[in-house]
Structure 1
């Protein structure tokens, strides 16, 4: 029997590796990221950012798999893509709108954006997992993959928070509460189904942004060796 990368990859192992590597940062625990670093600190930073970017790429791939599967099983023929989309849980964030803005963003700012995007999905994903189990049809595959993705997002969120704390940055966890729970629990099956569809679409969009921000951070730290 063969398994996909997202099924065999252990995000818990990744987080443990992330934390263990952060021990190498002790000499620069509260130092700004833009100061000149010694070789060991620079190399450990490169490994951490590579790891975070790798995890984010897995999350993005899995978000794509889930959206495609849900669309095929529950949204086929319903023309959901033609409807005016509901607001996403992270639409109120100010984020770079193009590649040029991303490249000009301060690394600390990008890390905070990544954390905000990840953290803001905690509540929606919790309710997604709870509610999708009672969907009509056979939701097991979508539910299983959503649970996997939820764990990876939680692990990456904690990893980014640790990185922020080690560079003297405090992770901001003060955001407006998610307001989409009522639609997700609607007695109208079409309303519920469209809400799921929209949330999976939003997750795919945000996972792409997270992946992009971390790839830019990786490039700048490894190839530019500065901020």
Structure 2
């Protein structure tokens, strides 16, 4: 029954995958000749909307990938072992109270999103390499991981342009964080590799959710329609 359930999820994921790609909003902020961003002709409001939609898609796909990976590779005993063995995420400290949320600045929100994005670029490349070594990795997981990795680069570009336009700051160098939030080995043993990759996916899902939440809080502050606390 477990195998049948996994196969059904894979079939549905493959069927829905083209719809996900076609429904995504393009976000291409690469630099053209002369150093002009392709997003320069887009209003700040629309650019923020596109960045938010991009973050929403990334989080949704990361959630689907994590669930599918868990059903495919992580039986209940290993899930319990993971919880007991101390596999945990290094996380960005976030405001935990209403007053702290009110005190954080737009600059903090944007720079935190950028830091989270950049901290995951290399780990996701590692994850692609690791999944390619699996004998039974569903292709949909591999494809989703590659898709997220590519879209994360686009999200990085969009956030950099937002920082320039909203904070009136110069374009930042797109250097990746020297100390990623998730630490990973190059070639661990297979069982440990499966657990580390599962932890990586779980940690990325949590950080992708933070990226989405920070950007939506920023949008809320711009529109002043909702209670942003």
- Whether TM-score is above 0.5 comes out as yes
Match of 1:23 in 2: 41
Match of 2:94 in 1: 95
Contact 1:46 1:222 in 2 (8 A): no
Cα displacement string for residues 140-195 of structure 1 (whole angstroms, at most 9, x for unaligned residues)? 2211110011111110011111221333335474633347332x521x22110110
Q: Distance in 2 between matches of 1:139 and 1:2?
A: 14
Contact 1:132 1:139 in 2 (8 A): no
Contact 1:103 1:216 in 2 (8 A): no
Matches within 5 A, 1:100-115: 100-115=99-114
How far did 1:108 drift? 1.3
Q: 1:2 to 1:139 in 2, by over 3 A?
A: closer
Contact 1:63 1:200 in 2 (8 A): yes
Matches within 5 A, 1:31-46: 44-46=43-45
Match of 1:201 in 2: 202
Contact 2:118 2:176 in 1 (8 A): no
Match of 2:21 in 1: 7
Match of 1:221 in 2: 222
RMSD, aligned CA: 2.8
Q: Distance in 1 between matches of 2:86 and 2:58?
A: 22
Match of 2:169 in 1: 169
Q: Which runs of 4+ in 1 moved over 4 A?
A: none
Q: 1:220 to 1:147 in 2, by over 3 A?
A: same
Q: Distance in 2 between matches of 1:147 and 1:99?
A: 37
What is the TM-score with the length of structure 1 in the denominator?
0.77
Structure 1 residues 164-173 or 131-140, which shifts more? Answer: 164-173
